[in-house]
Amino acid sequence: MQLVFATNNNNKLKEVQALVPEHIKLLSLADILCIEDIPETQLTIEGNAIQKAEYIKTNYGYDCFADDTGLEVLALNGEPGVFSARYAGPQRNAEDNMNKLLSKLEHKASRQAQFKTVIALHLNGELETFTGICKGEITTEKHGEKGFGYDPIFKAEGYDKTFAEISLEEKNIIGHRGKAVQQLIQFLRKQES
């Protein structure tokens, strides 16, 4: 089976490739010569994932899946949510995004948050979605060198280390994207049996 993973984010690609069975060949957007920015104009994480998957299917004809992820902070009414990558502006800079979030939480008692990933799969003319959630909290300062995005300031429930301090293998087990990808893999296995 061959599937396009509609992402330009090499970190996401590595995370997902580590989870997908070897017989499923993952193609990146570069592999299908898709160099344009895929629109993400929906107001929900699910909407953006579906929009990206439909864009690849419509314009390139491949069976594919796309994901969208957001960090939702309770004390900020779900911010940054769908705007997580562009929270501090269109430059999509992780440091700027984290600094803005830490600043907005400075005087908040609650630091509860969750990462949410939705994967939209376009396969054989059908559309399916899979959702992974990882609950936790935002730390008061950055810790760790691994991971990407908000990983240095997010600690999963029951953990005393941030996502940027744990291994990719561990993050894939407890993390939002890993949970959504596991659902995707289970679905693909059922299709093959």
CATH code of the domain containing 153: 3.90.950.10
The answer to whether residue 193 scores a pLDDT higher than 80 is no
Could you tell me the pLDDT band of residue 15, with boundaries at 50, 70 and 90?
A: confident
pLDDT of 17-49, one tens digit each? Answer: 888 888 888 999 999 999 998 989 999 999 999
Nearest to 178 by CA among 44, 45, 69, 81: 69
pLDDT of 41-95, one tens digit each? Answer: 999 999 999 999 999 999 999 999 999 999 999 999 999 999 999 999 998 899 9
Note the pLDDT of residue 112. Answer: 98
In terms of DSSP H, where are the helices of the chain? 10-17, 45-60, 94-104, 168-174, 176-192
Query: 112 near 137, Cβ under 8 Å?
Result: yes
Q: What residue numbers bound the domain in which 144 lies?
A: 2-192
- The number of folded domains in the chain is 1
pLDDT of 116-144, one tens digit each? Answer: 999 999 999 999 999 999 999 999 999 99
Would you please indicate which residues are annotated as catalytic (active-site) residues? 68
d(CA 23, CA 1): 7
Global pTM? 0.91
Nearest to 181 by CA among 55, 71, 59, 21: 21
